[in-house]
Amino acid sequence: MTSSALRVLLAVCLMLIVGLAATGAPAWGQTPEPVQDPPAIRVDNDAGSDAAIAARLTRIFAQFDALSAVEVGVTEGVVTLDGMVADRADMDQAEAIAGRVEGVVAVRNELVASVQLGERVSPFLEQMKALWRSVLDSGPLVVLSLVIVLVCAGLGWWVASFNRFWRGLTPNPFVGDLLAQLVRAVSLIIGIVLALNLMGATALMGTVLGGAGVLGIAVGFALRDTLENYISSIMLSLRQPFRANDHVVIDSHEGKVVRLTSRATVLMTLDGNHLRIPNMMVFRAVILNYTRNPQRRLDFELGVDAEDDPEAAIKVGVAALADLDFILSDPAPTGVIVAVGDSNIILKFTGWIDQKDVDFLKGRSAAIRVAKMAIESSGFSLPEPIYRLRIDQMPDLSGTTGSAPATPPVKRLRADAPAGDSAEPVQSVRPDDHIDRTIEAERRDSSEENLLSSKRPIE
């Protein structure tokens, strides 16, 4: 809660306390009495006569300044009220009083509300004066209630200001800040409750809290996505499915983790671009973490001629992979037959690398080159697709009656090139640390929060 929001909330509390002091709300634990019909008004003598009823009402109306000009007429118990009053409330009051007199059968209200400015403003001014006098009479109580609210809010703000304590009490700084904000809010609510109790307005507080609950539900539906993203941030900060610099794939987004904020997860793609993913999507996504297990398997496919022995080609390719320094011996590289095509046999080779020392793409590229050259050097061919064309009744354009038989293609052997010449890759397979250095520099230069902690275990 910011300081500006706190000042606004305190101003609202002050207005509520002043309003309650003026209206005179019921005290703590006081049960409101049931509403009963007012007793009937008796006439002095000759009860029920028209003259007695008129005289009694005239004397009653004379006691009210707003009703002193009301003219009363009674015929057979039917009271007729005539004249001019200040507003509609005076008309209703006169009619209610007349209906309570004994012997009255019905009331015909013919009063008219005055439209003169002086008569309309005067009652309003009297009400404002009465309200001001009520506020002045309860001034010490209002000041004391305001002091209670300020003291409770200040105490909560002081307790929540110990950031190191709250952050050390929780798994990560984000949850610590949430606890500090909760302490501020609870202390302010306690102050308001105490102030309302002192003002005797706790009965009204239930109504206010009920309305606030309904308003909270409406706001929750309106800000559903925002609240879901905020809750996802809390869960991710507690669970921590990855660490900084981890190479991950979140749904279809691939990159290295820069930081986890209260709103989004920041990745740096392998092209060096920043990518922000809302935490709501990250929490629900399927996450693939390449860094969690440093050993990773690479695989590729090569095709040999359909007339070649695939098992012999597999042995040559696996031996070439095993000679590479960056291919792990445990588990050892393997090769299998995956398909038989029209003109070739598809072989699949696999090998494991340690991503701490070997770049995956570079290692896979070097492994493909070495296996291909070893297979070709051993006499196996990697044929291209063969298409057969059938042409019926082709005219003889050569002018000869006979044609020479087609010469079968000659298989090219690479027996003259020893397999050992291609055992080592030309290019380096060391990992490229440019992205890591860029992430570290960006993290140092930015003051944005990071909720990922190396002290927390990865789930």
Q: How far apart are CA 250 and CA 264, in angstroms?
A: 13
Q: What is the pLDDT along the chain (459 residues), one digit of tens a residue?
A: 444 444 545 554 555 554 544 444 444 444 445 555 666 666 555 555 888 888 888 888 888 877 888 888 888 888 888 888 877 888 888 888 888 888 888 888 888 877 665 555 666 677 777 777 776 777 777 788 888 888 888 888 888 887 777 766 666 666 677 777 788 888 888 888 788 777 776 666 666 667 667 777 776 666 677 778 888 888 888 888 898 889 999 988 999 999 988 889 999 998 889 999 999 999 989 999 998 888 999 999 999 988 889 999 999 999 999 999 999 999 999 999 999 877 889 999 999 999 988 999 999 999 999 999 999 999 998 877 666 677 766 566 555 555 545 444 444 444 344 444 444 555 788 888 888 888 888 888 877 777 787 766 666
Going by C-alpha positions, the residue among 89, 80, 79 that lies closest to residue 114 is 89
CA atoms of 312 and 321, how far apart (whole Å): 14
- Predicted pLDDT at 386: 66
CA of residue 140 relative to chain centroid, distance: 44
The domain made up of 239-292+437-445 has a fold known as SH3 type barrels. (2.30.30)
Given 3.20.180.10, 3.30.70.100, 3.10.20.520, 3.30.70.260, which CATH number is that of 295-386+413-422? 3.30.70.100
CB 70 within 8 A of CB 86: no
**Neighbour order of strands in the sheet with 274-278:** 274-278, 264-268, 253-260, 247-250, 287-289
pLDDT tens per residue across span 295-316? 999 999 999 988 889 999 999 9
Q: Judge contact between 180 and 144, C-beta under 8 A.
A: no
Rounded Cα gap, residues 321 and 43, in angstroms: 120
Residue 253: the pLDDT is 93
The strand pairing partners of 99, in sequence order, are: none
Query: Which amino acid is residue 407, in one-letter code?
Result: T
pLDDT at residue 44, as a whole number: 57
- pLDDT number for residue 334: 94
**N- to C-terminal Cα separation, the chain:** 31
Residue 61: per-residue pLDDT: 85
Residue 216: per-residue pLDDT? 72
pLDDT computed for residue 64 by the predictor: 85
Residue 424 CA to residue 414 CA, distance in Å, equals 18
Domain ranges of the chain: 3-24+138-221, 50-119, 239-292+437-445, 295-386+413-422
- What is the per-residue pLDDT for 43? 58
Quick check: pTM over 0.85?
Answer: no
d(CA 303, CA 281): 42
CATH (one of 1.10.3720.10, 3.40.50.620, 3.30.1340.30, 3.40.50.2300) for 50-119: 3.30.1340.30
What pLDDT was estimated at residue 223?
Answer: 67
Please state the φ and ψ torsions of residue 259, each to the nearest 5 degrees.
-165, 165
Q: Note the pLDDT of residue 24.
A: 45
Q: Give me the residue label for tokens 């609240």.
A: 227
